[in-house]
Amino acid sequence: MKPKIYITRKLPDIVVTRLTEVCEVNMWDKEEEPVPREILEKEIQDVDGLYCLLTESIDKPLLNLGTRLKVVSNMAVGYNNIDIAAATEKGILVTNTPGVLTETTADLTFALLMATARRLVEATDYLRAGDWKTWSPMQLTGQDIYGATLGIFGLGRIGEALAKRARGFDMKILYHNRSRKLEAEEQLDIQYADKERLLRESDFICVLMPFTHETKNYIGTAELSLMKQTAVLVNTARGGIVDEEALYHALKNREIWGAGIDVFEEEPVSTEHPLLSLPNVVALPHIGSASKNTRLKMSLLAAENLLQGLQGETPKNIVN
Ligand code: NAP
């Protein structure tokens, strides 16, 4: 008998075809609308495997309903949407999709850094609004990127890929992790810094650590007050790592210069969110890994992880 799986969002045909070769597949067939919780609660009761996105909260009450559930495959590298302890306790394997999205997310992070530093969104809005009447010396001036100091919180796969891009801009690079990465320090000519030094000395700060109980509100009022008044903060990791209220006040009062944000505490973010009212914010709808090739690779990797787990093999990317 084929194992049964539930997929929480419409996936590309090629991925569904692959999964159907091995499994009996049931799928929430909409692309732009997440599966309602009550449907997920019903579907999970009858499956061996779950293929989900970061938009679903796979919490303990849901996992408790999955009495025959063996594998949860998340189509993302971050897995803060899943209660890992509860899954582990129930013997459910959880998998993610690291690696395949590294370069694409580093590209977006650097693009967001540049867009914020050089006020690209504000400038294009200015032009389209018909406000461009003349060229003037200090019009729409931003911050220099070339030769500036970049601080990276969370020098993992994406952090290292970002550092490589920054080398091309002759940036001085600082990083902070819980543990030092001596090989990366040597290869990329980067320096380890404690949290305070990184905050004080960086012109650009990129947040690339996972969202955990340790990193919740990792950047708050105290941290923002240590940053330069000309500093740009970029968060392409997860909402909740940066305290949004503290960030709003720091930006509004010009205690820091700008912020590029791809991820929010609550997603989709409300258009009424105070941060969206500020001209010195470039905000994106969580598109870090959104290139056609990478999203396809992620969806196929999540499928392979699920199949391996269901077929008794060790999945390539186990989280627990
Ligand atoms: P990774 O390779 O696991 O790197 C994460 C780094 O964060 C590690 O080097 C880790 O080093 C550091 N870290 C973890 N906890 C920390 C803490 N408490 N204090 C300081 N440093 C800490 O992960 P990755 O593949 O680069 O991805 C990073 C994150 O980016 C993911 O977790 C995900 O949430 C996010 N992401 C977002 C998008 C998007 O679409 N915007 C796309 C992909 C990924 P230590 O263990 O030594 O501390």
**pLDDT, position 46:** 95
**pTM of the shown model:** 0.98
- How many Å lie between the centroid of ligand 1 and the Cα of residue 319? 13
Q: How many CA atoms lie within 13 A of 165 on its CB side?
A: 23
DSSP helix/strand/coil, 134: coil
**pLDDT, position 318:** 98
Whether 238 sits among the annotated catalytic residues: the reply is: yes
* Upstream peptide bond of 268 is cis (omega within 30 degrees of 0): yes
Q: Are 77 and 33 in contact (CB under 8 A)?
A: no
Ligand 1 neighbour 209 (Cβ under 6 A) = yes
Atom of ligand 1 nearest to the CA of 181: 47
**pLDDT, position 47:** 98
CA separation, residue 83 to residues 10, 46, 170, 192, 297 (Å): 23, 20, 41, 32, 25
Crossing angle of the two packed helices 102-117 and 157-167, in degrees rounded to 10? 50
Ligand 1 neighbour 288 (Cβ under 6 A) = yes
Catalytic residue among 33, 245, 267, 313: 267
- The DSSP bridge pattern shows strands 71-74 and 172-176 to be unpaired
- How many Å lie between the centroid of ligand 1 and the Cα of residue 68? 31
Whether 37 sits among the annotated catalytic residues: the reply is: no
Ligand 1 neighbour 182 (Cβ under 6 A) = no
**pLDDT, position 85:** 98
**pLDDT, position 258:** 98
Alpha-carbon distance of 6 to 9, in angstroms, equals 9
Q: What is the pLDDT of residues 94-149, one digit of tens each?
A: 999 999 999 999 999 999 999 999 999 999 999 999 999 999 999 999 999 999 99
Catalytic residue among 18, 238, 244, 304: 238
Report residues of the chain scoring pLDDT below 70.
none
Atom of ligand 1 nearest to the CA of 214: 18
Q: Hey, what amino acid is at 263?
A: V
Nearest-5° Cα angle at 190, 188 to 192: 140
Q: What is the pLDDT of residues 225-248, one digit of tens each?
A: 999 999 999 999 999 999 999 999
* Ligand 1 atom 4 nearest Cα: 156
Average pLDDT, the chain: 98
* Ligand 1 atom 48 nearest Cα: 178
Ligand 1 neighbour 136 (Cβ under 6 A) = no
Whether 286 sits among the annotated catalytic residues: the reply is: yes
* Ligand 1 atom 23 nearest Cα: 156
